Amino acid sequence: MISISTFTTKTVSNIVFKEIEETKLRDFTARVSRTATLDGGSVITHSGVVDSDRILDIRAQLTEDQADDLQAIFESETLVFLSCRWGLFYGAIDILKISDGDLQLKFLVKDKLND
């Protein structure tokens, strides 16, 4: 289950829905860089893995009311809470696509709130 909530209380402040298999909640990107050296080799620097580099790629089936509510949140809110089995995240909805109840949502994580 996934819940998207707003900071402010408006007509729509919370939506709960069940994600489908294609959802990617465990994808991580490391802060890694590679620099070429003059001797033909390279230096690799690994600066860790942080939640703020994550993009949650969510797929779900929504009812028409859920789709309307989610679109209202997307259009009116900058930052929202997203709760799922991997934690509570604070961030922004980057992409929202809804077609015949099929949801594709990309959520940019600013911070994970419950470590």
Domain of 85: which CATH number?
2.40.30
Would you say residue 78 has pLDDT above 80?
yes
Mean pLDDT of 14-41: 87
**11, 45, 16: which is closest to 31 by C-alpha?**
45
Would you say residue 11 has pLDDT above 70?
no
**100, 81, 104, 85: which is closest to 25 by C-alpha?**
85
User: What's the structural domain count of the chain?
Assistant: 1
Would you say residue 12 has pLDDT above 80?
no
What is residue 79's predicted lDDT score, i.e. its pLDDT? 94
Query: Taking the CB of residue 2, how many other CB atoms lie within 10 A of it?
Result: 20
State residue 73 phi and psi, 5-degree precision. Answer: -65, -45
What is residue 40's predicted lDDT score, i.e. its pLDDT? 95
> Where are the strands (E) in the chain, listed by range?
2-5, 14-17, 30-36, 42-49, 55-61, 80-84, 87-99, 102-112
Containing structural domain, residue 24: 2-112
Asked whether the beta carbons of 30 and 106 are under 8 A apart, the reply is no
Mean pLDDT of 75-90: 91
pTM: 0.81
Would you say residue 96 has pLDDT above 80?
yes
Q: Is 64 left (phi over 0), alpha (psi -120 to 50) or beta?
A: alpha
What is residue 61's predicted lDDT score, i.e. its pLDDT? 92
